[in-house]
Amino acid sequence: MDHRDNLAEAIKNASVEHDGGKVTLACAHAFKLAEDSGVGVREIGAVCNKIGIQIAHCQFGCFD
């Protein structure tokens, strides 16, 4: 399992599935995962995009 696979698993575990199938990760959780994993928030965002998880409640506009 490579580094991005580990990040993807951590992101999935921290994500919330809503009615209708939408899966989101709170911005604060994204920053915490980045800090805990020793990666930048851009990498967290890239992995979220790859696996179809949307960042929610973003205060700074860091995530597209």
pLDDT, tens only, 1-48? 577 789 999 999 999 998 888 999 999 999 999 999 999 999 999 999
Tell me, yes or no, whether 29 lies in a domain: yes
List phi, psi (to 5°) of 63.
-115, 140
Tell me, yes or no, whether 64 lies in a domain: no
What is the domain range of residue 28?
Answer: 3-56
Closest CA to 30 of 19, 14, 17, 50: 14
pLDDT at 25: 95
Using pLDDT thresholds of 50, 70 and 90, give the confidence band for residue 63: low
pLDDT at 20: 81
Q: Element (H or E) spanning 34, and its range?
A: helix 27-37
- Structure tokens of 21? 């199938």
pLDDT at 57: 84
Number of independent structural domains in the chain = 1
Tell me, yes or no, whether 36 lies in a domain: yes
